[in-house]
Amino acid sequence: MTEVLAKYVPEHAVEPAFELIKLYGVHLKIVNERVTRHGDYHRDGAGYHRITVNASLNKYRFFITLIHEIAHLAAFEKYGRNIKPHGDEWKSTFQRLMVPFIRPEIFPSHLLPLIARHFRNPKASSDTDATLSLALKQYDEKDEDKHYIFQVPYGALFRIYNGKIFKKGAQRIKRFECQEVKTGRVYLFNPNAEVELLP
């Protein structure tokens, strides 16, 4: 298992991550990319703790996602299954598990303050923290067809992963209003949402 983990997480996180996997009895499955989520946790009918994480994630996002999902398991075991999935119990558990890893042996120095700030009050997804998300995306494999909403010119057309086409509108505080061309409905997009810019 450590040989597999070494392909997906930072070098100095391999052994401690493996210890957490053993401690919580996790069955880890690395899966093909799912657009809507980086990972998930569930307890199956036989009582096994199953965590899946997308293989396409860079090693820093993969590691954060792995700890995120282990935190779900740990929070459910400690507080019971009636807690909110991303409520206070999960947040405190995620912080407790993650804080020991926020150090320069594991993350590049320019990511450390962004990660530390994020973990003062972790969200359901690191993607909702636009600054951290964009910093982590620097380590993704490059795709020339991908752009972020904040890079798309006002009024330009873009396509999202499911094929729907939108026209970019004005920024509302943190997110951008974009109109779906086919229906005329307006949706809000995070500035770090990945899209395909259309000519």
Domain with CATH 3.30.2010 in the chain: 2-137
Domain with CATH 2.30.30 in the chain: 146-197
Global pTM value: 0.78
CATH architecture assigned to 2-137:
2-Layer Sandwich (3.30)
What residue has token string 């997480």?
Answer: 9
Q: What average pLDDT score do residues 154-173 get?
A: 93
Return the minimum-mean-pLDDT range out of 23-27, 43-47, 101-105: 43-47
Whether the Cβ atoms of residue 183 and residue 192 lie closer than 8 Å to each other? no
Query: Each residue of 168-197: b (16+ CB within 10 Å) or e?
Result: bbeeeeeebebeeeeeeeeeebbbbbbbbb
The one-character DSSP state at 171 is E
Q: What pLDDT shows up at residue 176?
A: 94
Write out the two tokens for 35.
Answer: 């657009």
pLDDT of 75-126, one tens digit each? 999 999 899 989 999 999 999 999 999 999 999 999 999 999 999 999 888 7
Domain 146-197 maps to which CATH number in 2.30.30, 1.10.1790, 2.60.40, 2.40.160? 2.30.30
